[in-house]
């Protein structure tokens, strides 16, 4: 017995969603690796971000997509939600994610003639952020 066109379309949509989720989590993991290099440096080796794996079928949409984050606290040997970070720690985590994303994008630029990053640029930016805070 042939399947209905609607059922066939539903299966195709599910496969497409699974592929999109796979691609999304693959790039997110790459961004996290780059972000963690920065966060470990910013936090003096204390914090590292970790993508939460979906726990079960009752997980919310963000969890199912693998977008929930936890933080590993190397000083206390604990893992907890990023929602428990203080304001300053949240800022460091956010900044490291933004810089990790920028690093990942830059790694795909592929332009051999592109300018190198100014090594003093990050220090200047850091001083400005500290003065503004």
Residue 29: inside a domain: yes
Domain at 73, CATH number: 3.40.50.300
pTM equals: 0.66
> CB under 8 Å to 82, separation ≥6 — which residues?
49, 69, 70, 71, 90, 93
**Tens digits of residue pLDDT in 40-55:** 999 999 999 999 877 6
- pLDDT on residue 86: 95
In the numeric block, which tokens belong to residue 102? 């920028």
Q: Is residue 121 part of a domain?
A: no
Indicate whether 113 pLDDT > 60.
no
Predicted confidence (pLDDT) at residue 97 exceeds the cutoff of 60: yes
Residue 84, domain member (yes or no): yes
Encode pLDDT of 11-65 as tens digits: 666 666 678 888 888 899 999 999 999 999 999 999 999 998 776 666 556 555 6
pLDDT score recorded for residue 93: 96
Q: Is pLDDT above 70 for 99?
A: yes
Give me the domain span that covers residue 76: 13-104
pLDDT at 130 over 60: yes
> Helix %, strand %, coil % for the chain, to 5?
60, 10, 30
As for how many domains the chain has, the answer is: 1
């Amino acid at each position: 017995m042939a399947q209905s066109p609607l059922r066939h379309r539903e299966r195709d949509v599910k496969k497409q969603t699974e592929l999109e989720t796979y691609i999304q989590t693959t790039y997110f993991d790459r961004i996290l690796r780059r972000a963690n290099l920065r966060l470990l440096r910013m936090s003096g080796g204390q914090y590292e971000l970790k993508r939460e794996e979906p726990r079960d079928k009752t997980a919310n949409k963000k969890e199912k997509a693998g977008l929930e984050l936890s933080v590993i606290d190397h000083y206390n040997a604990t893992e907890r939600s990023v929602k428990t970070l203080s304001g300053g720690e949240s800022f460091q985590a956010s900044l490291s994610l933004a810089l990790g994303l920028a690093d990942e994008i830059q790694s795909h630029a592929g332009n051999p003639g592109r300018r190198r990053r100014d090594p003093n640029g990050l220090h200047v930016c850091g001083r400005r952020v500290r003065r503004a805070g």
